Amino acid sequence: MRPLILVSPSIEKSGVEFHDLSASLSVKYDLAVLQAGGIPVTTPVTTDRAVLAETVRRVEGVLLTGGDDINPGLYDPRLPARIRRTVDQTPDGGARDLRELILIAETFRQRKPLLAICRGHQLLNIAFGGRLVADIRQQVPGALNHQRLDRACEMVHEAALTPDSLLAKITGKRVLGVNSSHHQAVQTPAEPFVATAVSPDGLVEAMEWKPVAGRKMPFLLSVQFHPERLTERYAAHRAIFEKFVVACARKNPNKS
């Protein structure tokens, strides 16, 4: 049977129907999951821990997606005002931040496969006590232009991969071409993680779980780029979703 993959949506100020606060999700995520053999289901818009815990229990894997910036209070309460002004937070008063932090906690508690993309990559680091570069242009001298929304479905720079890392094994690459549509980044991987892909200007393009005794996830990959927008053209990016879905399809002893 195709595994169910929980996909976390963005929140928009105004949707199509009645212009209410709305859940929003690029079809690229669903299509990438479907192409890889999974069935995507959308995370319920709630911060009820019991509901989210049950939701994670009923699926085989979790996919955290991109979207708005994360509340700076979660990673740098003393962020200077000139940088804070560049942060575009979710329009739901931070409910998405809380919801996805709960999802991360439950995914680790239940040991379900996790793929985190862009915003999800950053929030995963925050969940374990890490910090972000809140605005690359102001805080990283000589940085590349990482806000290439005009080329969202194209490779715009390369990332050097750590040999023998999960990402290197999945893609079969030592250097991977990636797209880039973010103005924030992981500052330094939090203690449980290690950087396994780095851009030419030194930003963390991927993180993985450190192989520590007694702590193991069936699949954990966190990337700053958007592989779902490259799967139709590039086998290496398609393979990320394929391996994730394969991991989700394996029997999980924690699933009731």
Sequence-distant (≥ 6) Cβ neighbours of residue 106 within 8 angstroms? 49, 52, 53, 56
Sequence-distant (≥ 6) Cβ neighbours of residue 83 within 8 angstroms? 134, 135, 138, 139
Catalytic residues: 118, 226, 228
CA 93 to chain centre: 20
Tokens 């720079």 found at: 157
Sequence-distant (≥ 6) Cβ neighbours of residue 97 within 8 angstroms? 70, 71, 74, 90, 123
* 180's tokens: 């880039």
